[in-house]
């Protein structure tokens, strides 16, 4: 499985293209990006789905562009619908086109692999991580030696602490973490060195 990262937009949000044998899905297209489209075309990838870890605008702003380009289903956390629907929290200006609302411990098949959704509230009420076989897309819950912000609307510092503690218990130390911002890390490193939540 190949994982390519694009850091997009003013907030440098990570968008991932996950592929294997020309099959691909996209995680968190936060901004519209011709570079992402060109990469997919150049490598002749067949995009099968889009996954949104949480509903904040810097993680959903490119969803419409990608869905229109590839006509694929969009998966997003049910508890973050408030950020993506017709509400005052939606800063994109239009409703995000979600096809499948996901819940805790739901299993989804992407590119022939079984991925499991885990709810990790804190940065947002509906924040999730997506896991398969020692690979974890952590959204804005866990970063390299940092954690998601909890000074924004509908965030909860106590909740994110407990979410990360749960992650430390659920996932092996050699699990590679692909976060919503910044570089990759692993669970073992964060348990030892994360100054906000240690194992």
What is the domain-level CATH number for residue 83?
Answer: 3.60.15.10
- Give me the residue label for tokens 């006509």: 71
Strand partners, 75: 51, 100
Question: Is residue 198 assigned to a domain?
Answer: no
Measure the CA–CA gap between 88 and 127, rounded to whole angstroms: 19
Phi first, then psi, for residue 3 (nearest 5°) are -125, 120
Question: Is residue 158 assigned to a domain?
Answer: yes
Domain total in the chain:
1
Question: Is residue 162 assigned to a domain?
Answer: yes
Instruction: Work out whether strand 74-77 and strand 100-102 pair parallel, antiparallel, or are unpaired.
Output: parallel
Q: Under 8 Å CB-to-CB from 23, ≥6 apart: which residues?
A: 45, 46, 48, 111, 112
Q: In tens digits, what is the pLDDT along the chain, a chain of 199 residues? A: 999 999 999 999 999 999 999 999 999 999 999 999 999 999 999 999 999 999 999 999 999 999 999 999 999 999 999 999 999 999 999 999 999 999 999 999 999 999 999 999 999 999 999 999 999 999 999 999 999 999 999 999 999 999 999 999 999 999 999 999 999 999 999 999 999 999 8
Question: Is residue 159 assigned to a domain?
Answer: yes
For residue 36, the enclosing domain spans 2-193
Secondary structure of 5-52 in the HEC alphabet? EEEECCCCEEEEEEEECCEEEEECCCCCCHHHHHHHHHCCCEEEEEEC
Question: Is residue 54 assigned to a domain?
Answer: yes
Q: Give me the pLDDT at residue 183, please.
A: 98
Measure the CA–CA gap between 59 and 46, rounded to whole angstroms: 22
Question: Is residue 199 assigned to a domain?
Answer: no
Measure the CA–CA gap between 153 and 143, rounded to whole angstroms: 20
Question: Is residue 88 assigned to a domain?
Answer: yes
Measure the CA–CA gap between 123 and 120, rounded to whole angstroms: 8
Q: Give me the pLDDT at residue 191, please.
A: 98
Closest CA to 181 of 141, 153, 154, 150: 141
Q: Give me the pLDDT at residue 160, please.
A: 98
Question: Is residue 120 assigned to a domain?
Answer: yes
Q: Give me the pLDDT at residue 142, please.
A: 98
Secondary structure of 89-112 in the HEC alphabet? CCCCCCCCCCCEEECCCCEEEECC
């Amino acid at each position: 499985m190949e994982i390519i990262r694009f850091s997009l937009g003013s907030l440098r949000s990570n968008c991932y293209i996950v592929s294997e044998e020309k099959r691909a899905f996209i995680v968190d297209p936060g901004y519209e990006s011709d570079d992402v489209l060109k990469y997919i075309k150049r490598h002749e990838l067949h995009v099968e789905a889009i996954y949104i870890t949480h509903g904040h605008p810097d993680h959903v702003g490119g969803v419409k562009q990608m869905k229109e380009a590839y006509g694929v289903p969009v998966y997003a956390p049910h508890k973050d619908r408030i950020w993506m629907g017709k509400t005052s929290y939606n800063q994109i200006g239009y409703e995000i086109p979600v096809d499948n609302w996901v819940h805790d411990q739901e299993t989804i098949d992407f590119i022939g692999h079984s991925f499991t959704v885990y709810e990790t509230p804190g940065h947002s009420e509906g924040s999730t991580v997506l896991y398969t076989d020692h690979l974890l897309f952590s959204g804005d819950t866990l970063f390299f030696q940092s954690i998601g912000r909890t000074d924004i609307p509908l965030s909860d510092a106590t909740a994110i602490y407990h979410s990360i503690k749960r992650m430390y218990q659920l996932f092996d130390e050699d699990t590679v973490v692909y976060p919503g911002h910044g570089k990759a890390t692993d669970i073992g490193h964060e348990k030892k060195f994360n100054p906000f939540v240690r194992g």
